[in-house]
Amino acid sequence: MSRVFLIWAITHSVKEVQSEDSVLLFLIAWTVTEIIRYSFYTFSLLNHLPYIIKWARYTLFIVLYPMGVSGELLTIYAALPFVRQASLYSISLPNKYNFSFDYYAFLILIMISYIPLFPQLYLHMIHQRRKVLSHPEEHKKYE
């Protein structure tokens, strides 16, 4: 969901951020992650998982997760002034639905949500890495 959100609700909607280096940062992280992830799934389905693919799946996230999250957060941050100025996707009162929505505040809440969520996901992957890669005899049967 975060990828759809970043691509459509930020990068597509706020044209001014499309040339930011942070967009390139998260796109590179996502691309490398997906190449590794789908290679892992493909080789697993074929019952021939090379250890290097398994190792890459459970090791390269150490760099790729922080890289992707940094790019995402920096991109949202770069979009904030443009969102505020244009009142993008915001709904003001009064209106017939008696409802208001401030997209600028919503983006700040999204950014703040990374504080509890990112460490939890990252530590989960560290745990998975330990669990999966701690059995060296396991990888011999796939080689």
Rounded Cα distance, 75 and 30, in Å: 14
Note if 103 is an active site residue: no
34, 38, 41, 72: the active-site residue = 72
- HSE at residue 112, side-chain half, CA atoms within 13 A, is 6
Note if 16 is an active site residue: no
What is the token pair recorded at 49? 């998982």
65, 77, 89, 142: the active-site residue = 65
3-class secondary structure, 130: helix
Cis peptide before 66 (omega within 30 of 0): no
Q: Which residues are catalytic?
A: 65, 72
